[in-house]
Amino acid sequence: MNRALLLSLVFLAGCVSQNPRNLDTAVQEKNSSQACLSIKTFFNDELSAFQDRMDAASAEYQEEQWKVEANEPGASTQKMGDLFEAYQKVAYDKAILNKTLELAKNSKNVETDCKWKRRLGRAKQLLETSILTDEAVIQKEKENQQKQDTLSNQSNGFRVEVPGESEPVSKALLSKKIGSTEDRSQRESLFKQFNSARADAWLKWGFRDLIKSRNAEAKAAGFKSYYDYRFFRNQLDLKNYLKNIKEIRTKLAPKIQKILKAMGKRYGINKVEPWDIRYLREKSASGEVNALFKDFPETEVMKVASDFYSSLGTDVASYQFKMDLYPRPGKNTHAFAMGVVAPHVNEQGEVLSTPKPDIRFLANLR
């Protein structure tokens, strides 16, 4: 889901001032204080209400997204698309954006020790990058989100027939099989078979069309490429990202390659290939998760996890957790976590009791 939108307005407040050039110091201080109070009120009332509306729309969308990803009965990609459009209508509030921009413009002469002034600047930055105002761009975003959701749903259901398996297997299960296969030529065959078949399927499903459509969205928004556009929407620096990637390739990658070479040598592999990675990882692992569960019940594992995070100061009891841990046909084959209702915190960083955080985990254990 496109979550480049504002999620933490509860942290932000601002202050604004009339031009004090012709006022004496006492009047300036009075006006500045009143301006700070009025901006703080705007944040606590209008922006807080906006955040609540956005949270509600986001939760509805992500609830349906979870059903689709987990392939639950009654899940609908069409409904998910409709809910995304409803979320757009709530999130792209031009009135909120314009009011924030106006307040930021008028707050330039507010005293520097006004504690809300810096937060107003942050709110302006968040809203400018997250609220779209061009209807053509908004429509294109919705179109691309639907294409992405459809492609993702098709990919989740993708399976291949593998010798020795009674039914077609997903990427997650094939990866486990590759990890436990001693015959290297068979590992290579399984790896190439799946990736080649899935690549062909993605092209058949319109992956190239999605790429072209995303670039069209970026250009409609005034950017030369989709990468530039997405980094702007997520308030990230593309140049800095590319610099980090270069450092990873030149500094970290050689060290990883050295480790992999040593691991491969240990198991008679002169040159480690992609189909060897999972195998080597399994050889170096301390044991299977399911083997752990035989002597260590899942309920006890959850208790240990709860105790651990509670010791870090997380109020685990205030969270609602939902987990879907075992494979089913049509279910997303990737493991991920989803915050349907993200934790809300106060200015001291303490998690609020309401709304109750709703955290979902999806995996494919077997």
Q: How many CB atoms lie within 10 A of CB 116?
A: 22
Q: Answer whether residue 66 is part of any domain.
A: yes
Cβ(362)–Cβ(170) under 8 Å? Answer: no
Per DSSP bridges, beta strands 320-324 and 358-362 are: parallel
Domain count of the chain? 3
Flag whether the pTM goes above 0.85.
no
Q: How many CB atoms lie within 10 A of CB 185?
A: 9
Q: What is the pLDDT of residue 21?
A: 38
Report the candidate in 9, 4, 5, 3 with the shortest Cα–Cα distance to residue 345.
Answer: 9
Backbone angles phi, psi at 74, to 5 degrees: 85, 0
Of 108, 132, 156, the residue at which a domain comes to its end is: 132
278 and 171 fall within a common domain? yes
Q: What is the pLDDT of residue 271?
A: 95
158 and 275 fall within a common domain? yes
Q: Answer whether residue 137 is part of any domain.
A: no
104 and 210 fall within a common domain? no
166 and 118 fall within a common domain? no
Residues 6+ apart with CB under 8 A from 138: 88, 92, 132
Q: Answer whether residue 3 is part of any domain.
A: no
Q: Answer whether residue 237 is part of any domain.
A: yes
Collapsed DSSP state (helix, strand, coil) of residue 124: helix
Q: What is the pLDDT of residue 19?
A: 35
Q: What is the pLDDT of residue 5?
A: 38
Residue holding tokens 């062909």? 200
- Print the domain residue range for 301: 291-362
Q: What is the pLDDT of residue 8?
A: 34
Q: What is the pLDDT of residue 17?
A: 29
Of 224, 256, 285, the residue at which a domain comes to its end is: 285
Q: What is the pLDDT of residue 321?
A: 86
Of 132, 164, 180, the residue at which a domain comes to its end is: 132
Collapsed DSSP state (helix, strand, coil) of residue 218: helix
Q: What is the pLDDT of residue 212?
A: 97
Determine the Cα–Cα distance for residues 327 and 172; give it in Å rounded to an integer.
9
Determine the Cα–Cα distance for residues 24 and 1; give it in Å rounded to an integer.
52
Residue holding tokens 């009075």? 30
Q: Answer whether residue 321 is part of any domain.
A: yes
192 and 274 fall within a common domain? yes
164 and 272 fall within a common domain? yes
Find the length of the chain: 366
Per-residue confidence in pLDDT tens, the chain, 366 aa: 443 433 333 333 232 223 333 434 444 445 557 778 878 888 889 998 998 999 999 999 999 999 999 999 999 989 999 999 999 999 999 999 999 999 888 887 777 777 777 788 888 888 999 999 999 999 999 999 999 989 988 888 888 998 888 888 888 889 889 999 999 999 999 999 999 999 999 999 999 999 999 999 999 999 999 999 999 998 889 999 999 999 999 999 999 999 999 999 999 999 999 999 999 998 887 666 666 666 666 667 678 778 887 887 777 888 888 888 888 888 888 888 888 988 887 767 677 778 888 999 998 776
